[in-house]
Structure 1
Amino acid sequence: MSGEGGGTLAPTGWRVPTLLALLGALAGLLVANSVSGLPLMPWSAIPTLVLLALAEGFTAGRTARRVRRAPGTEPMEPLSAARLLALAKASALFASLAAGYFAGTALSVTGRLELPSHREVFLIALGTAFAAGLLLAAALYLEHACRVPEDEDEDRNDPPGLA
């Protein structure tokens, strides 16, 4: 929130997710190179992250219609929009870190892909990084859906706030 009591929240920019993805990639490289043997890769993270992305994307579509008061929808309560915005921000940060971590892990085994076990780790890590990227996109879409549309009589120089 702004320090002047304006009640607005800035949209997630590209800097923080990029930094988190880079830190995650570095952590993935370090962990994968420091453990003896291969790191364990849970294949179940792929469908879990994809389902979360689908749920957030669906919620974003419904939220956008409700915030803009589309015909046939109920207006959204401000507290509900604030909760969805908090979910979107948290998901975006987590997804950035996870995408970087699993991409770094995949990168660490690229030199030994002729071995089946390394190929399996590579494919699972790459799939998980992709699924985390989908979650990041859905989270940013949900955050965008929570924006309050500008009023016609407001000053056009002010950027639109978030719900």
Structure 2
Amino acid sequence: MRRTSAGALIVAALIGGVVGFGIDQLLTGAGRATFTPSLLLPVLLVLLGAATVAFALPIRRAITGRSAEPIDPFRAVRVAMLAKASSVVGAVIAGLAAGLLVFLLTRPVAPVGSTVAVIATLVGALVLLAAALVAEHLCTIRKDDDDERPGPDEPGLGLSHHD
């Protein structure tokens, strides 16, 4: 499994930014108040990031040999996928919050309460993104020298297997 690429995260953040700016543009164009995220959202994002890292730590200990307890490979894959998904969610929400913030700061008078909530969401999303990337790193094993060459049981050598 490949690690999450910076390009994918940048694209996710840009999409989130366009959506965030567009939402506020549409709302104010319709004469409504701008979108303000709940102050609970950044707290939840930080907790999700902490949980993702906490799930990845036992896997890292097993990979490095500091734990005598073996890790189920399916659990390791699930935690790695959680880390990948969390990094994308963090990038999208960071982009969304950045788009909302850009919209608020380009207005003649920026509402202070909304601005604080949007900045807190942006910070929470960046914490989630960083924690998810750390968790993804914790779940990766180093590449062996023979990973590029197929082994005797792997396809590509032209061997046939008979039972």
Which one-letter code corresponds to 1:126 in the other structure?
Answer: I
Alignment match, 2:92: 97
**What is the CA distance between 1:28 and its match in structure 2?**
0.4
Q: Are 1:34 and 2:26 counterparts?
A: yes
Gaps of 5+ in 2: 150-163
Task: Tell me how many residue pairs correspond in the alignment.
Answer: 145
TM-score with structure 2 setting the length? 0.80
- Aligned residue for 1:27, secondary structure, equals helix
Which one-letter code corresponds to 1:120 in the other structure?
Answer: G
After TM superposition, list the pairs within 5 Å mapping 1:46-57 onto structure 2.
46-57=42-53
Q: Which moved more, 1:99-108 or 1:61-70?
A: 61-70
1:73-118 deviation line (CA, Å, top 9, x unaligned):
4121111101111111111111110110011101111134755xx1
Q: Which 4+ stretches in 1 moved above 3 angstroms?
A: 111-115, 154-158
Alignment match, 1:132: 125
Which one-letter code corresponds to 2:146 in the other structure?
Answer: D
Q: Are 1:66 and 2:59 counterparts?
A: no
Percent of pairs with identical residues: 28
Whether the 8 Å contact between 2:36 and 2:118 is mirrored in structure 1 is: no
Whether the 8 Å contact between 1:53 and 1:134 is mirrored in structure 2 is: yes
- Aligned residue for 1:109, secondary structure, equals helix
Determine which structure has more spread, i.e. the larger CA radius of gyration: 2
**What is the CA distance between 1:42 and its match in structure 2?**
1.0
Which one-letter code corresponds to 2:36 in the other structure?
Answer: L
Whether the 8 Å contact between 2:62 and 2:68 is mirrored in structure 1 is: yes
Q: Are 1:123 and 2:119 counterparts?
A: no
Q: Are 1:155 and 2:146 counterparts?
A: yes
Alignment match, 1:76: 71
Which one-letter code corresponds to 1:12 in the other structure?
Answer: T
Whether the 8 Å contact between 1:113 and 1:119 is mirrored in structure 2 is: no
Alignment match, 2:12: 20
